[in-house]
Chain A
Amino acid sequence: MRTGSRRSVFRRARGDSPAKRAVIHAVLILACVMSVYPFLRVVSVSLRPSNQLLSTDLALIPPGASLENYRALIFERDFTIWLWNSLVVSAASVLVGLMLAATAAYAFSRWKFPGRRQGLLFLLTTQMIPAGMLLLPIYIMVVRLKLFNTYTGMAIAYSVGSVPFSIWILKGYYDTIPRELEEAALVDGASPLVAFYRVVIPLSTPALAIAGLFSFMTAWNDYMMARVMLQKPNMFTWPVGFQKLMDQFQTAWGQFAAASVLVAIPALALFLYSSKWLVSGMTLGGVKE
């Protein structure tokens, strides 16, 4: 009874007719299917025995499904090395990127200095430059710094791409944090740096999560930069390593699909973990609105 009355209140509040609601639901369900189905197909291919790889069967769990492709990928290929390299490079670029972006964005948000406006605009314009154009200059810089084929070189190269975006995201968020909170910390006994990392940083977790996720995904999914910067097979990240699954005469599609499923897991886990920080509203109640 109670549920029924709440439902009717909800219906009245929306003011949508049952037909309209049915159409909305149908569109949403279709969108979900279109998003999820390709991924399920990849899962399906990864489970197929090698003699059914070219089958046109649409069943999600194929007949004779096995984890053979996963076993071969993990134990017969360098997949775990590629995965580890990708994780290290992505984590390092998140760390370097966030450290640079968090402090730079704070300066842009809190201080007025000559060139502030131009600096912000310049950062924005760097995002308009096609990634391919940056390959050569970054390559030259990394080689001259003797960081070719290193995690550090890769982390720096990826940070170049993600820091400007992160600065804009974080600067926008810092602008919403009342300055009085930092002033209260200064009066309480904090130095400006302590006020920054004890008050501003904990309150910026939603923006840090978005910027961090962006940096991670940029590094995690990149093929082009890694292909140019990494020559030693033991330094390959997974997008470069995957090329090894395709040789001149055949492509191990089953293992390719299995690898695709496995590399999605860290990104998915990170997204799920950080989703709790993505909700805003942490500054509620600190100051009188």
Chain B
Amino acid sequence: MARVYLEHVTKKFGNVVAVNDATLEIKDKEFLILVGPSGCGKSTTLRMVAGLEEVTEGNIYIGDTIVNDIPPKDRDIAMVFQNYALYPHMDVYNNMAFGLKLRKFPRAEIDKRVKEAAAILGIENLLKRKPKELSGGQRQRVALGRAIVREPKVFLMDEPLSNLDAKLRVQMRAELAKLHNRLQTTIIYVTHDQTEAMTMGDRIVVMKDGFIQQVGAPMEIYDHPDNVFVAGFIGSPAMNFLDAVILREDGDLWVDAKSFRVKLPLTRFETVGEYIDKEVIFGIRPEDIDDKDFVPNAPPDRIVTADIDVTEPMGSEVYLYATVGPHSFIARVDARTTARDGSSHQLVFNTDKAHLFDKKTQKAIR
């Protein structure tokens, strides 16, 4: 168990800056998620912590030691790879025991640790099999087992669930969270899947183009995204963004999107003062747009009549793909909605939860 600290870390591949001046503290025993689209630098960051990529500038600490020049084998870390990276010529037992053998552990201790890890992961019956005789889920467990037996200071996981089918991924997500509770070890986990990020981590680091965009607890990032990118990346379906102007009329604040307008709560006065009569990006999550039929006493100044292009029944809810004038957006409404494809329907914008972003800087207006 150890704290990991990245101090102004930069990684360049020739002229390409993969990670740009990243400073980040991962606390002891924390489950930290690095999330972002492909090419954002999350895997490179992880590989630098592992020692598989050299740091161009800055320092990486594991515990209190700068590890920039320490080879991977001496960093006391374990890594789970996206494609499992099991040794094809070894059986499951030897795959898990390999690291311990290299470290000259006594045979009895190796045996004990491998069998304990196998029991935790439910793969005791697979110990004699070769990787090619395992299913994707089983291989993933073996890869985890290989990391667990080492009892390292830090676990590094590079999109470990991305090759599993959807059902198994959900199951493994929960198991990894349980495993973290049990092992109480620092875990740095890379994913491009915002659902994994939201459900598994103590904190999330959102990255884009090599820059850290925001660091925070999942709900903190969800409720208070720092910029348009984070707001759009976290949450599924993604947040709706509409170009609009902030207006002040008769002491009230309005968001005017030309084809419709909705009233903002008065609590926004302090923050939007300098944006009155200016263009902003109005963001609202699909779940903050309701079907009026299910919002008793909906304030009329927040009701918008929209054309419903497509309805997507999801079982417990329905996604409405709606249009008002030039604006298209998604609403996530009660499954009992009467909205139908091609019809007009009244929707309620919960502007208490709306987000406003500066159009130029794309940063949140708070």
Contacts and interface: CB of A to CB of B under 8 A. Distances in A.
Interface stretch (A99-107, A120-128, A130-138, A187-195): A187-195
A288 interface: yes
Interface string A31-71: 00000000000000000000000000000000000000000
Interface core residue of A203, A283, A286 (most chain B CB under 10 Å)? A286
Contacts of B51: 186-187
B194 to A, nearest CB: 22
B87 A184 contact: yes
A199 B94 CA distance: 12
B83 A178 contact: yes
A180 interface: yes
Contact of A188 (B82, B134, B146): B146
Contacts of B82: 180, 288
B134 A285 contact: yes
Given A191-B71, A285-B132, A288-B136, A203 B89 contact: yes
A202 interface: yes
Interface residues of A, number: 24
Contacts of B89: 202-203, 282
B219 interface: no
Contacts of B73: 186-191
Contacts of B133: 285
Contact of B85 (A184, A189, A194, A198): A184
A183 interface: yes
Contacts of B87: 181, 184-185, 199, 286
A285 B163 contact: no
Interface in B87-118: 87-89, 98-99, 102-103
B283 to A, nearest CB: 37
Contacts of B136: 288
A183 B132 contact: no
A189 B98 CA distance: 9
Interface string A170-182: 0000000010110
B150 A287 contact: no
Contact of A187 (B77, B130, B134): B77
B288 to A, nearest CB: 38
B77 to A, nearest CB: 6
B96 to A, nearest CB: 10
Given A188-B73, A191-B71, A287 B86 contact: yes
Nearest to B158: A180
A282 B89 CA distance: 7
Contacts of B131: 285-286
Contact of A180 (B81, B130, B150, B156): B81
B62 interface: no
Interface of A: 178, 180-181, 183-191, 194, 198-199, 202-203, 282-288
29 contacts: A180-B85, A181-B85, A181-B88, A183-B72, A183-B85, A185-B87, A186-B71, A186-B73, A187-B50, A187-B51, A187-B73, A187-B78, A187-B156, A188-B150, A189-B73, A191-B71, A194-B102, A202-B89, A282-B88, A285-B88, A285-B130, A285-B132, A285-B133, A285-B139, A286-B87, A286-B132, A287-B81, A287-B85, A288-B82
